[in-house]
Amino acid sequence: MSDFPTSYENIALSLILKVLGVSRNGQSIDGCMEAAARAPKLTALHADVNRLLQETADSGEAKSEICRFKAGDKRWSYEPRPTKLSLEVVRSAWVKSGMRDLQRMARQSRRGSSTLTA
Banded pLDDT at 112 (limits 50, 70, 90): low
Cβ–Cβ < 8 Å for 15, 51:
no
Average pLDDT in the 61-77 region? 82
What is the residue extent of each domain of the chain? 7-117
DSSP letters for 66-95 = EE---TT-S---EEEPPS---HHHHHHHHH
pLDDT tops 80 at residue 21: yes
Backbone phi and psi for residue 12, each to the nearest 5 degrees, phi listed first? -60, -45
Average pLDDT in the 18-47 region? 86
pLDDT tops 70 at residue 115: no
Banded pLDDT at 71 (limits 50, 70, 90): confident
pLDDT value, residue 114: 53
Closest by CA position to 5, among listed 85, 95, 76, 99:
95
15: exposed, middle or buried (C-beta count within 10 Å: 0-12, 13-18, 19+)? buried
Average pLDDT in the 102-109 region? 84
pLDDT above 70 covers a percentage of the chain that reads 92
CB atoms within 10 A of CB 94: 22
